[in-house]
Amino acid sequence: MKIAVITGGSSGIGLAAAALFAEKGNTVYALSRRGGTDSGNLRHLVCDVTDEAQVQRVFGEIFARHGQIDVLVNCAGFGISGAVELTESARAKKQLDVNFFGCFHCCKAALPLMRKAGHGTIINVSSMAAVLSIPFQSFYSASKSAVNALTLALANEVRPFGITVCALMPGDVKTGFTAVREKAGDAAGIYGETLARSVATMEHDEQNGMAPQQLARAIWRLSQKKHPKPLSTCGAQYRLFAVLQKLLPAAAVNRIVGSIYAK
């Protein structure tokens, strides 16, 4: 029986992944700030991933119980929207603190335990926004781009220890993520209706996106691969976007994204 730790485990992709991993026979620890109800192989623990000391303590407790942590899935995250010049620095830092440093804290806590065991899998949930930076969602895009960079570098660092690291870049997913997005306003009307239309487009696409269970299955498949792609996505249209992003000039790609989200 494998021991899996999944952050952001109280809702959305994290909860769907935790439920699937438990269904597959793993002992699963779902970490979140508010916890949840235990069921079968699924156990919820309260853990704020932005608090490194708390992360180290929780991972230590799990390891003390089982003597192993086989899989880490970093799902914890949230989004902010707004124009760059109208975004408060504290809000931008919070975005990076949760999405990037939370991922870093959990990797840092899991790696010594995996290294001692000589094996382990880390799956970071990134976003297509990491490679297709979305206007008025710049700090979310930046946080996920940072997750990709961390993933690629870390994969090379820990490969000699038998540890696999990869990232999944979902497109639009229908979860509660949309409702809790923090929004910077535009009281001065500098960006007019462009900002409002952009956010409305994002939210419409998200609420008509993939089910979190589809992402959970993609995460499970990655966990079963010996040599997964370091960066991958889920869903035919998003795979097409990923290919086009590689083939087309950056300026062309950026204009296309702008025509969708900043018109």
For 204-207, the CB contacts below 8 A with 24+ separation are: 205/172, 206/172, 206/173, 206/174, 206/175, 206/177, 206/178, 207/174, 207/178
Which of these is catalytic: 11, 81, 126, 223? Answer: 126
- Confirm whether 140 is a catalytic residue: yes
- Confirm whether 263 is a catalytic residue: no
H helix runs in 41-186, sequence order: 52-66, 89-96, 102-117, 138-158
Nearest Cα neighbor of 21 from 168, 233, 224 is 224
Strand partners, 232: 168
Both tokens assigned to 74: 């970093």
CA 165 to the chain's CA centroid:
13
- Confirm whether 126 is a catalytic residue: yes
- Confirm whether 191 is a catalytic residue: no
20, 89 in Cβ contact below 8 A? no
Kindly calculate the radius of gyration of the chain based on its CA atoms and give it in whole angstroms.
Answer: 18
Which of these is catalytic: 10, 32, 127, 232? Answer: 10
The total of other beta-carbon atoms located within 10 Å of residue 176's CB is: 11
Which of these is catalytic: 144, 198, 232, 261? Answer: 144
Both tokens assigned to 68: 């192993």
Spatial separation of the C-alpha atoms in residues 153 and 230, rounded to whole Å? 10
Which of these is catalytic: 140, 191, 238, 261? Answer: 140
Residue 234, classed as helix, strand or coil, is: coil
Spatial separation of the C-alpha atoms in residues 73 and 107, rounded to whole Å? 9
- Give the active site residues: 10, 126, 140, 144
